[in-house]
Structure 1
Amino acid sequence: MKVKIVKKQPSKFKEGFDIAPDEPVFTTGVVCRLLDIPVWVLKQLDAAGIVSPPRKRPAKARLYSKKEVRMVQHCWYYLEKHDVKISGLKVILQMEQGTFKKE
């Protein structure tokens, strides 16, 4: 009995593939490398509820979407360049979004 081996053509990798803005694909380490920021920034933004992507499973790492990475970058701008604290950052973001309420 002869067995015919058929070679399957490898699928071509698209260099310019698109990822949806809300698709969580970036790990904490990748986000830190992309933005050149320390891990504590992500932890503080998460603890403050500013940027806190959900975990897929309780013990799994958080995955960030493009949209969340952009938000982290925006927050880092204020934290690093303007020496803003997390509490001040919350107020700035509320003002930018038009949801700030004066007490």
Structure 2
Amino acid sequence: MKPKIKISESDPVYAIGIVSQLLQMPEWTLRALEKEGLVAPKRKFKKIRFYSMKDIKRLEYIHYLMDEKGVNISGVKVILEMEE
């Protein structure tokens, strides 16, 4: 019998390099977004950032706003605050 693996949307399982590849965003951009408080990946082993699927969906939206709509980080912060 195969084990059933269940991963919650909020489980931090994706390392920054994987997220960078999935979203086609440089790691430095992901770090900058974290520094600005737009995303908060969990830290494991003291340094390594791990993102959840929830984080990735938020980053997809941020990426859309920045790349497709030309919104800067300050504008993204305002938009996200208004939506929450």
What's the TM-score, normalizing by structure 2?
A: 0.87
Q: Does 1:66 align with 2:21?
A: no
Q: CA deviation at 1:18?
A: 3.5
Q: Which amino acid aligns with 1:43?
A: R
Query: C-alpha separation between the residues in 2 aligned to 1:79 and 1:57?
Result: 31
Structure-to-structure mapping, 1:1-103, within 5 angstroms: 12=2, 17-58=5-46, 60-97=47-84
Unaligned runs of 5+ in 1: 1-10, 98-103
Bigger relative contact order (CA 8 A; separation at least 6): 2
What CA distance in whole angstroms lies between the structure 1 residues aligned with 2:48 and 2:14?
10
**What SS does structure 2 have at the residue aligned with 1:63?**
strand
Q: Computing the radius of gyration over CA atoms, which structure comes out larger, 1 or 2? A: 1
Q: Report sequence identity in percent.
A: 40
Q: Scaled by the length of structure 1, what TM-score is found?
A: 0.72
In structure 1, the residue corresponding to 2:42 is in which secondary structure? coil
Identify the structure with the greater helix proportion.
Answer: 2
Q: Deviation string for 1:12-60 (max 9, x for gaps)? A: 476xx541011000000111111122212211110101102131232x3
Q: Measure, in 2, the Cα distance between the counterparts of 1:61 and 1:29.
A: 10
> How far apart, in 2, do the equivalents of 1:88 and 1:27 lie?
27
Larger fraction in strand:
2
What is the total number of aligned residue pairs between the two structures? Answer: 84
